[in-house]
């Protein structure tokens, strides 16, 4: 092998041709002037301001933040309970009227659909105004621990 027959392992880099015919001349591939042409340019997306002003938790995609109580009507209580029995979330789960919600006893509200003729004691349940009247009329008691909410 002669010296004139030797070849380089890596070819020579071609120098960039700047000017009209070059690869990265004038705008260097950025295509515009001004803020867009500068290094590290960041244009604020204006639509973000509009999106951030919109309220969250509205519409069909979002569920309510409050956990709504499970509803039990008087006719169900009349059917499953005897005289002077206690109606509470625990007994409603035992009688398989309601089921536990993620391992916890559900909040319960008793509404006034149906008639009540038995003396029932209510404990730890929300009751509507009409139910309160019906229970007291039948001779039942609403225990002190339960919160009485008015039905609107």
The pTM (predicted TM-score) of the whole model is: 0.52
DSSP the chain: --GGG---SSPPPPPP--STT-SS-TTTT----GGGGSTT-----HHHHHHHHS-SS-STTS--SS-PPEEEEHHHHHHH--TTPEE-HHHHHHTTSS--BTTBPPPEEEE--S---S--EE-S-EE-HHHHHHHHHHT-EE-TTSPB----
Domain boundaries, the chain: 70-142
Q: Mind listing the pLDDT tens digit for each residue in 111-144?
A: 988 888 888 899 998 999 998 898 888 888 888 6
pLDDT digits (tens, 9 = 90+) for 57-87: 667 776 666 778 899 999 898 888 888 889 9
Instruction: Indicate the CATH number for domain 70-142.
Output: 3.100.10.10
């Amino acid at each position: 092998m002669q010296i004139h027959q030797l070849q380089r392992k890596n070819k020579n880099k071609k120098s960039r041709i700047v000017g009209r015919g070059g690869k990265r001349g004038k705008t260097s591939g950025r295509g515009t002037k001004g803020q867009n042409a500068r290094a590290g340019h960041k244009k604020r997306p204006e639509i973000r301001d509009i999106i951030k002003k919109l309220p969250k938790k509205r519409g069909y995609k979002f569920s309510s933040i409050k956990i709504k109580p499970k509803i039990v009507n008087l006719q169900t209580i009349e059917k499953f309970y005897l005289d002077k029995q206690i109606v509470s979330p625990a007994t409603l789960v035992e009688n398989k009227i309601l089921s536990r919600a993620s391992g916890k006893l559900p909040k319960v509200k008793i509404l006034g659909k149906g008639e009540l003729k038995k003396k029932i004691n209510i404990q730890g349940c929300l009751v509507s105004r009409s139910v309160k009247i019906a229970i007291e009329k039948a001779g039942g008691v609403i225990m002190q621990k339960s919160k009485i909410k008015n039905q609107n």
